[in-house]
Structure formats: structure tokens, C-alpha cells
A and B are shown apart, each in its own frame.
Chain A
Amino acid sequence: GAGVSQTPSNKVTEKGKYVELRCDPISGHTALYWYRQSLGQGPEFLIYFQGTGAADDSGLPNDRFFAVRPEGSVSTLKIQRTERGDSAVYLCASSHSSTSEAFFGQGTRLTVV
């Protein structure tokens, strides 16, 4: 596609439920990043993939958060036992390489009620 695609655009879930957020990067981009942005804050780094492997997962807040990228393209961010504090816009970005400009998708707005 022309840009980074994230689905769904909006997700409302109940506290304690499991959610999956999908990111489809720009074709040919090997690097993929997940960030989350709470209202009035800057984005917060979660995880970086180079190809299929998580090269840096230092930003994942706890073991309820997990992300995969099994074929080096689409990535899924998985959140178990969601909490109200997980409510945020989850942003995915991709870049051609680890040192080139990253392009962000439009994000998934997650609301935990």
C-alpha cells in the first residue's frame, strides 16, 4: 500500500479482555516500530522489529504486552487482560532500514472501559 495501514482505527474493549492491533507497513520496509500516545503526551516507544525479530523491546511496559511479526511484514500488537490505563492511540511506523526516516500510520485508538 501507499502508507502504513493500521486496523482497526478504533477499538473499544472491556477491562480484562484481550485485544490485537494490526499494522501493515509500507511494502519493502524492514524496520517496524510500535509506539503509544496518551492524550496530551508525546508518543512512547514500545518495540522495534528488524525483519521478523524484535530488535528492541525495552519499551514494553509489562508482560501483558506482546508483539509479533512472523513473516517480516505485518505485525500484531497483543494486549492481555487490558486495563483502563492502556487506553491510548497505538501508533505503528515503518522505515526502509533502521537508520532511515520512519513513516507513521494513522493509529488505532484503544479505549478500555
Chain B
Amino acid sequence: QKEVEQNSGPLSVPEGAIASLNCTYSDRGSQSFFWYRQYSGKSPELIMFIYSNGDKEDGRFTAQLNKASQYVSLLIRDSQPSDSATYLCAVNQYSGGGADGLTFGKGTHLIIQP
């Protein structure tokens, strides 16, 4: 059974600070790792995906992957109230950014306090 674990939160972070979201996964064969943002009542939207160990930066977002520890994280710098949402970690066994067979965690509810 493939599992993706996330702390459900809520995680409360002051505006302007760095928000750190963490995720662990059970399947060592996982190849691609995704972070989605989901606002309440809305559909998930892709923030980033990563498939190599190390860091990947895109604007205020940095994804970090450590395959040996089976750990993925997302850092959000200069957090804004509009970043308040549920952040979903997802993994799959295929390389590339497609959505075939993604296994999602339950998500972490992030609250940015003005």
C-alpha cells in the first residue's frame, strides 16, 4: 500500500515569514513528486514538481527532495495571506510531470496570519 503522510495542521505562520510544509512517502520506487495547492471548495492546482534530489526553486516556492529519507518539503518564502490554503503532496512511480496514478497525502492546512 503506497502511502503519503502529511501533518494535517493547521499550520499557522505570520505574514512575511517562511512556511515549511513536509511530506513523507512509503514507496521507494517513487520517481516524481508534486505539490498542489487547494483553496477551500476549489480544485487542486499544481505549484511544482520535482524528481531529482536537492532543491528546485520557482519564485517564492522551493521544493526539496531527499529520496534516501523518502522526504519532500515545500518552502514558501515571504508568506502572504493569499497563500492560505491546503497543500497536497503527491507522488507517483513515473518520471515526468503527468498525473497518472498519483498518490496524494491528506494535505496540510496552512494559515498565513496578517
Task: Flag B17-58 by CB within 8 Å of A: 1 or 0 each.
Answer: 000000000000000000000000011111001000000000
**Closest approach, in angstroms, between the C-beta of A45 and any C-beta of chain B?**
5
List the B residue with the shortest CB-CB distance to A106.
Answer: B43
A102 within 8 Å of B by Cβ? yes
Q: Are B96 and A45 in contact (CB under 8 A)?
A: no
Question: Which of B42, B49, B98 has the most A CB atoms < 10 Å from its CB?
Answer: B98
Cβ–Cβ contact B98 & A43, under 8 A: no
- A-B CB contacts (within 8 Å), total count: 68
Inter-chain contacts of B49 with A (CB < 8 A): 101
**Which of these, A48, A56, A98, A105, contacts B43 with CB under 8 Å?**
A105
| B101 sits at the interface (CB 8 A) | yes
Q: Which of B60-68, B74-82, B104-112 contacts A (4 or more CB under 8 A)?
A: B104-112
A58 touches B101 (CB 8 A): yes
Q: Is B72 interfacial (CB-CB < 8 Å)?
A: no
Given contacts A104-B43, A106-B42, A106-B43, A45 and B98 within 8 Å (CB-CB): no
User: Looking at the complex, which of A12-20, A60-68, A77-85, A89-97 is the stretch in contact with chain B?
Assistant: A89-97
Can you name 26 A-B pairs with beta carbons within 8 Å? A31-B98, A31-B99, A35-B102, A41-B106, A42-B4, A42-B88, A42-B105, A42-B107, A43-B88, A43-B90, A43-B104, A48-B100, A48-B101, A55-B100, A58-B101, A59-B101, A91-B44, A93-B99, A99-B95, A100-B97, A101-B97, A102-B98, A103-B46, A104-B44, A105-B43, A106-B42
- 15 other contacts beyond A31-B99, A42-B107, A45-B103, with CB at 8 A cut-off? A40-B106, A41-B106, A42-B4, A43-B90, A43-B102, A44-B104, A58-B101, A99-B96, A99-B98, A100-B98, A101-B49, A101-B97, A102-B99, A104-B45, A105-B43
Q: List the interface of chain A (C-beta within 8 A of B).
A: 31, 33, 35, 40-45, 48, 55-56, 58-59, 91, 93, 95, 97-107
